[in-house]
Structure 1
Amino acid sequence: MDDITFTNTRFDPDLVAFHGIAKEMAKSVGYTADMSVDAKLAQLLRLRVAQMNACSYCLILHTKAAHDQGIHSAKVAHLASWPESTMFSPAELVALAYCEGLTDYDLAGFPPLHQAMTDHFSDTEIAEIAAIVINMNLWTRLKLAQGATPVQET
């Protein structure tokens, strides 16, 4: 990301306390946080939320973070079509479905998604996964609201 900068085309998020709250959340569940859930899975979830919400800032940041964590580039590129894939483990597939259910918040479909999570994850991991997805939804929407527009340096 050294050659990419972002311009806020709508507002400065530091004008309200909301940005500070988002930064505090990121410390505990963001991409540099130390959690019990697998770091690569956490990064895939962050990137999937960025894809679903079409956030340029988050797509660039979390694609780079995925590569930095050693997630194979084909897996990163293939993430948008995960339901059609054999590249993801059963636990990853369940977590991605949960991620999408929580992001879209399908009231009818969400309880079975949570139940499926219990076959692969501890209560703590499920709570962390929910926090990761919620945090990413907060950040993607904040960046979209402020108009974080990428500008490539030449």
Structure 2
Amino acid sequence: MKDTMNMQEINPKAYKAMYALEGFLAESSLSKSHKELIKIRASQINGCAFCLDMHTRDAIKNGESPQRIYTLSAWRETSFFTEEEMAILAFTEELTLIPSGVSAATQNRISALFTELQITEIIMAIVTINAWNRIAISTHLKPILDPK
């Protein structure tokens, strides 16, 4: 395989399916902040530089605090995140690191804070960014340094 592969060009139907998931998420009840926190945290875990670059920029454009982004990988050690955000971050970690599964404590925590419909939307957001991470990593997408 070449150093990079343009999957969108080679297989547009696959990308169309991914964009359909993004369209669903755009219409979901999840806040932009929640969606970006999910995308950034899963991308940190998966080591996807391309997605980290994209979603940290998007989060900042949407008003996210750079300080919260800088400390996101150590969110448990800060007081920067709300109870809802901490539940989403724990759920994101456990679904991204699926072999360990979702603990009863995390399931109870997320269930206490969100409706079943919202939980399905959170699951789909986590599933979608994990798929994008795998696409970006396997096709060797790299971020481009911003000259600013």
Whether the 8 Å contact between 1:102 and 1:133 is mirrored in structure 2 is yes
Asked if 1:52 is matched to 2:48, the reply is: no
* Identity within the alignment, %: 22
Greater helix proportion: 2
State the SS of the aligned residue for 1:27.
helix
State the SS of the aligned residue for 1:74.
helix
1:21-36 equivalence runs, <5 A: 21-29=17-25, 33-36=26-29
Whether the 8 Å contact between 2:94 and 2:101 is mirrored in structure 1 is no
Amino acid in structure 2 at the alignment position of 1:27: G
Q: Structure 1: how far apart are the matches of 2:101 and 2:52?
A: 29
Asked if 1:91 is matched to 2:84, the reply is: yes
Who is 1:3 aligned against?
A: none
Amino acid in structure 1 at the alignment position of 2:7: P
Asked if 1:147 is matched to 2:127, the reply is: no
Amino acid in structure 1 at the alignment position of 2:24: S
Deviation (angstroms), 1:107: 4.3
Q: Which runs of 5+ in 1 are unaligned?
A: 1-7
Amino acid in structure 2 at the alignment position of 1:21: A
Q: Deviations over 1:80-121 (max 9, x none)?
A: 111111111111111100000000014454343222211111
Larger relative contact order, structure 1 or 2 (CA cutoff 8 Å, min sep 6) = 1
- Number of aligned residue pairs: give it: 144
Give the TM-score normalised by the residue count of structure 1: 0.84
Q: Which runs of 5+ in 2 are unaligned?
A: none
Q: Structure 2: how far apart are the matches of 1:22 and 1:74?
A: 30
Amino acid in structure 2 at the alignment position of 1:11: M
Q: Structure 1: how far apart are the matches of 2:112 and 2:97?
A: 22
Give the TM-score normalised by the residue count of structure 2: 0.88
Asked if 1:61 is matched to 2:54, the reply is: yes
Whether the 8 Å contact between 1:9 and 1:148 is mirrored in structure 2 is no
Whether the 8 Å contact between 1:25 and 1:135 is mirrored in structure 2 is yes
State the SS of the aligned residue for 1:36.
coil
Who is 2:4 aligned against?
A: 10
Who is 1:78 aligned against?
A: 71
Deviation (angstroms), 1:151: 3.3
